[in-house]
Structure 1
Amino acid sequence: MSSVEITTEYAVTGMSCGHCETSVREEVGKIAPVKRIDVSAATGRLTVTAETPVDDAAVLAAVDEAGYQAVRI
């Protein structure tokens, strides 16, 4: 049986380097169902992939904890 993946995308402001990406990746990675995290300071995008829906509030709080702001797009 194949699993379905749910991808959610966010716009993140304030990131400017690889360290910023790592900070966001580490905080968002603490959220339970998250399977894959793609984050780019160059595009200001965060893509979260999971097998079940991820709580937007949890992602936004994790990005905030890393020191940045995000909105779902």
Structure 2
Amino acid sequence: MSKLTIKIEGMSCQHCKMALEKAIGQLEGVNSVEVDLEAGTASIEVANADLQDKIIETIKEAGYTPVQ
């Protein structure tokens, strides 16, 4: 199991937080997601670190900007 932390730009409210947690949490292999609105990050526990590209794509599809 791996933990990824991704910086995300464009989040401004609780709706943003909940939308991202739902979108990322639905991906196969994601065990848990915690979005920190103040820090602008998502901490994601995954079965396999290879999921990072799919997670980043999901963040973009949700309308936010992942910063690497």
Normalised to the residue count of structure 1, the TM-score between the two structures is 0.82
Superposition pairs for residues 19-34 of structure 1, below 5 Å?
Answer: 19-34=15-30
Size of the aligned set, in residue pairs, is 68
Moved over 6 A (4+): none
Unaligned runs of 5+ in 1: none
Normalised to the residue count of structure 2, the TM-score between the two structures is 0.88
Residue 44 (1) aligns with residue 26 (2) = no
Structure number with higher helix proportion: 2
- Partner SS for 1:12: strand
- Partner SS for 2:20: helix
Query: For residues 34-54 of structure 1, what are the alpha-carbon distances to aligned partners after superposition, in whole Å with 9 as ceiling and x for unaligned?
Result: 001010111101011023224
Superposition pairs for residues 1-73 of structure 1, below 5 Å?
Answer: 5-72=1-68
